[in-house]
Structure 1
Amino acid sequence: MMETFLEFPLKLETNRKILHVDMDAFYAQIEIRDNPALANQQVIIARDPRRNGGKGVVATANYNARAKGVHSAMSAAEALDLAPKAVFITPNFTKYREASHQVHDIFHEFTDKIEPVAFDEAYLDLSDRTENLVALAHRMQQKIYDELHLTSSVGISFNKFLAKLASEHNKPVGLTVIRPEDIRPFLDAEPIESIRGVGAKTAERMRELGVQTGADLYQMSQDELISEFNRQGFELYERIRGIDNRPVMYERQRKSIGKEHTFNPLIRSEDETLAEIKILAKEVTEALSRQKMHGQTLVLKLRDENFNTVTHRMTQNDFIDNDPVVLNRIANDLLEEAGGFRQPLRLIGLTMTNLTPLAFENIALSLYES
């Protein structure tokens, strides 16, 4: 007698607003930005197999190299066979981590509900925003490009699964929206390997069962999927119906509050630099007051015309007063510590960290007070 299962009820939740932001060939793009001579080359981020006995794995490749079949996690030797004219660059994860921090600083200008996935991608929950999400996503992409000279692709939907699929749909520099009414036409056309949770072994078994596309998977019953793939089968049953109720996992306590200004034309004098720092000090003070927070560390960030970024910070034992005059004075000291104005600047930022709610105040008690 064939075993049957009780069918679990499903609920499609569509009230959230989720963005998945995926930087385009992130590591390769950073290297090309920093060395424009690479722009038309096939660029592979991996140790050159011609110099290390064929060892190494591809971290990523630019789209010129991908057109030759190169992809991440491939052996560097295989990548060389596919793209013998490619330029191999040893990964510089310190540089990529810094660029990732810069991208996340921009995310925080739009929301603090951010779940990082890797250096190059993150989920953002914008459910509390009322403006048009497409316009907001365009602004975010433009800001990332204006400040960092890096492109990104964005997927917009009501859950994480669909937002990620959307971000991958039209790379590079893509922006794709999946609404509830788009679920069937979008998912039915997807190859089975694109469905989250379908790895190489699962895909192989799927093909043995005659399942090639999302439309084929949709035809499988809940019983069939659970019987064949156990718990993963139920998740696949949900995903192919556009259901994913996982929340965006973010830090509830904000770690920093800051403001940055990007300049075009560039800042070209110390007087201009000091004037901008004064404006930033006022903006950061206002933001701290709105969030009812204060902190103990002030950070000055400077990015020059060549995209070199330096930061200098000052930490006090007590909380720094939420006063623009105080913040401006400390920031001027930090500028002097950095060597003052030395070359044209494309970005100045001021950030307060080590935050605590204003309810926690400095209490100085005299040892001799009766």
Structure 2
Amino acid sequence: MEKVIMHVDMDAFFASVEIIDNPKLKGKPVIVGGTSERGVVATCSYEARKYGVRSAMPIYIAKTKCPHGIFIPTRMSRYKEASSEIFKVFSKLTPYVEPISIDEAYLDITESQRAPLELAKYIKDEVRKNTGLTLSVGISFNKFLAKLASDWNKPNGLKVITQDMVPEILFPLSISKVHGLGNKSVKRLNDIGVFTVEELYKLPLEILTEFFGKYGVEIYGRIRGIDKRKVEISRQRKSTGRESTLKRDTDDKDELKKYIRNFCISISKELTNKSISGKTITLKIKTSSFENHTKSKTLPLYISKEEDIYKEACEILDSIELNEKIRLIGVSISSLKESKIEQMTLFDI
């Protein structure tokens, strides 16, 4: 039986919740995120997007692009409350729900007795009735195409992509729309004259594997309608971390290590509370020119204690030559597993 996968994505979720709570904001350029000059945009209304404002954009740039925008700090507890109501609607239709984020999910509706379009309409109506919010729905035979479809005609969109529409429907799209191709991969392909999916489609499998290794096989199949990923009912958390935009740009490593120390305290408490540990430490930095860089180190054993995480993160920082000042720093730990016994520290070895 051919799978029927639905991807549901809320429309400008944080901003939409703010507008629901304050109807005077309707039709105005609402920008939610850090309100300081060093903060970033979490999301914004479609009115703000017309000015070029986008998620993850520094607030000071958003203010330049949209000087009359209404800037609002995030209220995560309120967004989680709305999200809970939305996911209750999903769970009424199918037990196969995979949360991607607070405002996005995949649903496997293959076994439903109701028609896919009927289910999409039900979700839209119920969410609107319960929360006042709108969402966009994409329906297809795999996750990649369902997600692509949900983004097709936002906001409040609905799109179905069937087998007979592929690959031609994908050809005009930018390669940035292909799941798995990040900014660096897109640039590499752009550098050889590949900008659209149609141009990507014409590349031999050998070229893609040369570019991306084994992952090139997935990209090759994906734009031909092949995506074998299943809807995962329980998503295992792959990493946990903390990051912060600095009060001022700096290349002083001692100062950066103070931030790292606080991150490691918080991360260790979370790992301990959840009885998990990890063995891959990643340091993330964003330079004053807004370039992101990450560097990771995988250890021979699992750790969860603050001093261990701090030691490894600092070693990574010390190995990096800072050619310009840093505006953001973060630490994360991945390759997680449940801690069956009390973890030794690296100093116990």
> Same fold by TM-score, threshold 0.5 exceeded?
yes
Cα deviation, residue 185, structure 1: 2.2
TM-score, normalised to structure 2's length?
A: 0.66
The whole-number CA distance in structure 1 between the counterparts of 2:224 and 2:147 is 15
Partner of 1:24: 11
Partner of 1:193: 176
Given residue 186 of structure 1, which amino acid in structure 2 is its aligned partner? I
Partner of 2:310: none
Determine if contact 1:154/1:174 at 8 Å carries over to the other structure.
yes
Match of 1:108, SS state, is: helix
Cα deviation, residue 230, structure 1: 1.0
Cα deviation, residue 173, structure 1: 0.4
Determine if contact 2:7/2:107 at 8 Å carries over to the other structure.
yes
Partner of 2:57: 74
Given residue 200 of structure 1, which amino acid in structure 2 is its aligned partner? N
The whole-number CA distance in structure 2 between the counterparts of 1:194 and 1:85 is 31
Cα deviation, residue 102, structure 1: 0.7
TM-score, normalised to structure 1's length?
A: 0.62
Matched, 1:214 2:197: yes
Match of 1:247, SS state, is: coil
The whole-number CA distance in structure 2 between the counterparts of 1:102 and 1:63 is 23
Matched, 1:223 2:206: yes
The whole-number CA distance in structure 1 between the counterparts of 2:226 and 2:217 is 11
Cα deviation, residue 123, structure 1: 0.2
Runs of 4 or more above 6 Å deviation: none
Instruction: Look at both structures and tell me which one has the larger radius of gyration over its CA atoms.
Output: 1
Cα deviation, residue 109, structure 1: 1.1
Match of 1:59, SS state, is: strand
Question: Cα RMSD over matched residues?
Answer: 1.2
Alignment of 1:113-128 (within 5 A): 113-128=96-111
Partner of 2:233: 250
Given residue 233 of structure 2, which amino acid in structure 1 is its aligned partner? Y
The whole-number CA distance in structure 2 between the counterparts of 1:109 and 1:188 is 36
Aligned with residue 44 of structure 1, among 11, 15, 31:
31
> Would you say how many aligned residue pairs link Structure 1 and Structure 2?
235
Alignment of 1:116-195 (within 5 A): 116-195=99-178
The whole-number CA distance in structure 2 between the counterparts of 1:213 and 1:251 is 34
Per-residue Cα deviation, 1:179-232 (whole angstroms, up to 9, x for no partner): 001112221111111111111111111111111101001001111100122122
The whole-number CA distance in structure 2 between the counterparts of 1:47 and 1:122 is 25
Alignment of 1:1-370 (within 5 A): 15-48=2-35, 52=36, 54-251=37-234
Determine if contact 1:28/1:62 at 8 Å carries over to the other structure.
yes
The whole-number CA distance in structure 2 between the counterparts of 1:66 and 1:218 is 31
The whole-number CA distance in structure 2 between the counterparts of 1:250 and 1:157 is 18
Cα deviation, residue 47, structure 1: 2.5
The whole-number CA distance in structure 1 between the counterparts of 2:113 and 2:191 is 46
Given residue 153 of structure 1, which amino acid in structure 2 is its aligned partner? S
Uncovered stretches (5+) of structure 1, i.e. residues with no partner: 1-13, 253-370
User: How much identity, in percent, do the aligned residues show?
Assistant: 42
